[in-house]
Every structure is written in C-alpha cells, then in structure tokens.
Structure 1
Amino acid sequence: MVSFFFPKALSDPTPMGLKRINFDELPDQYCEMETLAPLLPGDERSPDLSAIRPLLARTQLERRSLKLVFDADLDGWSPAAFHAKVDGLGAAVVLARTAGGAVLGGYNPEGWIGLGEDRASNGAFLFSWPDGNTKQRAFKIAKVGGPNLAVIDNPSSGPQFGADGLAIPLKPRGQERLAKCKLGSYYARLPDGSRTLFSSGDDPKKAELVSLKVYTADAKGVEWRLEGITWKSVVVEN
C-alpha cells in the first residue's frame, strides 16, 4: 500500500529528509541468530575466543580484540571479586563450564557498573554447548518479552541474565560455584523446547561450575558522557 500511494518512498534513502535506520551499522539492536562473526587475528590461539567470537556478529565486540578480565579460579568466587574486575569495562561475555560438561554463558551489551540497576537490552543473549563440543555451532538464545531485565546488575551477586535465565550468584558457604537456569520467561527456550543451558549430566535447574570467566574489549574501559539528558557510554582505547 505504501508503494502504491508513495512510489518513491521505499527507494528514497532519506524519506522526508530522515535517514533510514541501518541496523547493520547499529550494533546490539537485536540478537543476530544466523550470521557468524569471523575470527580476528590471534583468536585462533585461544580456545575460548575461537568459541565465542562467532557468536558476536552485529555486536559492538564483533571487530574488537578481547581480553580476559575475570577468572574466578584466580580472582575469587565472590561478588566482590567479580565486580572489582568487570565494573566499568563495558560490554562483556561471560563464559562458564559445568561439572556435567556444558560450556555456556551470556553476552551483556551494557556491561556492569555495580550500582544495583537492571540493564535493558534487545541485544543481550545466552549461549550453550550442552555437550561441551565448542567445535560445533552453539545454541544461541535470544532475549524475549522486550528489552527489560536483560541483565540484573546487583553488586552483591555475580552475573545474572533475566530474573531466571542464567544466574550465578556466587553465594558463600559452599554455594560459590552454583549456577541456576530456567529459560522461557526472559530468554527463549532451546529449539527442542528445553528450558536449560546445562548438560544432561547436570541438574536441569542448577549446576556446579568448574570455571567462570569474563571477556571484554581490550581497552581501558568505558567513559560515561552526558549528551543532553541522556548518559551514553564510550569505549576508551588503550
């Protein structure tokens, strides 16, 4: 109907003087499910980066070198250790392994700042290799139900995606390595309808982690600037 009444509207790149939105030029506007990002030089030397780089298509980290900023085995299995290493560094990838053999995690486009805010994003996603074989294509799990509660940035907790999508509270007294997962409310289920990222060897609702890492852009961090009435983050290069 638009093309009938306004034959030039769809072919005009700037209808009525307004430039059309090019989602290929705007990262993190949605979760890209089909396209895989190519490896960057040096990624092939790291099994972790070789696994997660393809998942970062059309994200702000797609073409950026990544660095390991948090390793729970080295830095500590606690919320304080986690936030001390990741807060203020911008977009990040969480990568974990379970005792049952699953490799899983999530992408947080907003990063953490540890001020107790809920971070909204349509570009956040979870991922999993339930059998641990990262040579195969991962299950990529998109945010559903709108952008709200994509990530819960709680200073007294570790990474949490949605209210129940993937939560790693890093609670003390023997629960430091416990992760919980329930897909379907804030993040989509797996293609077969499964509601867990974990392996068949794990409890479907909770699993013990044997490793937990976070990768961010290889930069100094993020600087927050006030533009009008909106605070925007800008990556500060090394």
Structure 2
Amino acid sequence: MIPMLNLLGVNKNSLTAGPGGERFEIFLKGCIRGLINPCPGCFNESSWTFAGESREISAEELHSILLNEAHHRRFTVCGGEPMLQVKALLPLLRKLSKDGFHTTMYTAYDAEKLLKGGLAFTWREGMEEAMRERLMQYAVSYQVKADGSVVFRIATPEMMEELFSLIDLLVDGDYQPTKRLTQSDTMEEGWFVGSSNQRLIDTKTTAMLGRFVYDEPERIKEAMLK
C-alpha cells in the first residue's frame, strides 16, 4: 500500500529552491535527525516533529495540483527529510518525470550511502511516538524487537536508484552554519544551497553512468535555458 505524503506546507513561487527561476516547493513533515541530532541553525525547525498539524495528500492529488499550478514545470522537495517518504514520493516522481518536470530534492543524508545501503533506522523507547507511527507507514518493512525497539527498513538501494533516475538534481549534506553561503554570494550566481559542504548531484547522469556526477552552477543555468 502506498502511503500518503505528509505535507507541512508549500511555496508556489520559490526563487531559492533550485535552478531556473520560480519553482513550486513543498515541505515534507518529519526529520529524524532534527529530533535526535539537529543541524545547528536549521531554518525549518517546525518540520522536525512527526506530530502536530500537517496535510496528508496522495501522489495523484499533488500531481494534479502541480499540473494546474506549476506552469513553469519546476518542482522542489524539501523537509523535514524527504528521503523518509521515498515510498510515497516515487509514484509522484514517475508521473512528473513523464510530464517533463525539472525536480530538485534536498537531503541531509549522504548520497553514496543511500545508493549503497538504502535507508534504515532503529526507533527506541523514549523517542517521539509519532515518529514510530509515521515510520510504520513509510517503511518498506519493519521488525519489532523484544525490548520494544523497532527496526525500520525505510528504503532499499533499488528504490534510491530509481529515485536518482527520476529527479534531476539532489542537494545532499547537512547544513553547517560555519560554512554558510549568503544569498548575494551564491543564489544570484546559480547556487541555492545553505552551506558550502552541500553538493549538487546530477542524479540522472549518476544513475546512467553508475558513478557520481556533480553539477556546477554555470552548467545548471545553461541546461535550464535549453
């Protein structure tokens, strides 16, 4: 069963969420790292918790909204942590890829590790209960241990490989305030990352060649103009 996407909010005309000008940006709710070991200076603390207000939306409904409102065909997925909802995202991304959307995604996880091992997490007693409940929906499989902990298999390497083939650009790495990039130095020159440690990964070429290909701002801008 495909879970619903857990949506915190949208920005229909974002100028700082990827290349090409205005983009339709969504914020998914829930970030394990935010609750356990948050990135200092994270701009979206309200997205960490899995509890509280949010909107559940199907891939079909969000696809319809994007077709009607994202006339520029540019889409960005932020968080929270989008990789936690890969199972729900893949049906949407398959549709958008066929529709010619340029899709950018952000993650605090390391892209190489995601492709090699997928994504897993062990929930333990004392952690947020809403996290456990949501991960039971998002995960491919899970196992409840005798001590009450739950081992979640959130995504497989094969799922990550498909995701790489469907999106265009992945910004990976945690935000580091000591390496912060200012808007005047970066976004106006084609960058749209928060700190200099974050990488721009050409995901489709990476999936096709089987090796990581990193993008540069000038090449991204040229590609978006074609």
TM range (shorter): under 0.3
Hey, which of these two has a bigger chunk of helix by percent?
A: 2
Alignment TM-score, normalising by the size of structure 1: 0.24
Please tell me whether Structure 1 or Structure 2 has the larger radius of gyration of its CA atoms.
1
Hey, which of these two has a bigger chunk of strand by percent?
A: 1
